[in-house]
Structure formats: C-alpha cells, structure tokens
Amino acid sequence: SQTIHQWPATLVQPVGSPLSLECTVEGTSNPNLYWYRQAAGRGLQLLFYSVGIGQISSEVPQNLSASRPQDRQFILSSKKLLLSDSGFYLCAWSVDNSPLHFGNGTRLTVT
C-alpha cells in the first residue's frame, strides 16, 4: 500500500536560519508531489508541485524553494527563514488526477 512520510512534525527555528522539510512516498512510482501551506482562513495555498524528478513548478514567489532529487522524495527549503514563513506545511501526492494523499504535516514556528 502507498504511504507518505513527512518530517519533522514540529519545528521551531529562529529568523534567518535555514529550513529543510522532507517528504517521501512509498508504494507508488512517478507520483505528482505537492507542497502546501495551510493557514486559518486561507485554506491550502499551493506552494510547489512536481510531476517528475528535477521538475518543479512554483506557484508563490517567496523565499522558499523545492527540490525533487529522487522520484519519491520532495524537499522544501529556505536559506533564510522569515517570521511570515510560520505555518503548517503539508506534503501530498497523487497519480494522474486522482485525489490527493496528504502527509501528517509540519508545524513550523519561526521565532
């Protein structure tokens, strides 16, 4: 069966520090991978998505970036965090246009 792992579950980082959130999918090949940020009253904001290794589409200009070094690995990064980067980050996958399968999320607090 397919599973998605996202870590860490919570993270507290100071302003200006780097960020690396990792997401891996098991049990499926060539998934479409997504990073979202969920904030109260704003729904799920699509940050990045990828349809293949090394292919990244960015939806929101900001100081975050994403990479897909392997077929089932998706990484969200920042060189220098801002206070406004605080939030709940969700990784998700799908195949073709099937419903999304979500990870457990990462609660990021930038202090």
Partner 1 sequence: AQSVSQHNHHVILSEAASLELGCNYSYGGTVNLFWYVQYPGQHLQLLLKYFSGDPLVKGIKGFEAEFIKSKFSFNLRKPSVQWSDTAEYFCAVIFSGTYKYIFGTGTRLKVLA
Chain residues binding partner 1 by CB under 8 A are: 32, 34, 36, 41-46, 49, 51, 57, 59, 90, 92, 94, 97, 99-100, 102, 104-105
Q: How far is the CB of 47 from partner 1 (least distance, A)?
A: 12
Closest distance of CB 102 from partner 1, Å: 5
Least Å distance, CB 29 to partner 1, is 16
Residue 31's nearest CA partner among 53, 58, 61 is 53
Query: Which C-beta is closer to partner 1: that of 20 or that of 104?
Result: 104
DSSP string, 14-39: -TT--EEEEEEEES-SS-EEEEEEEE
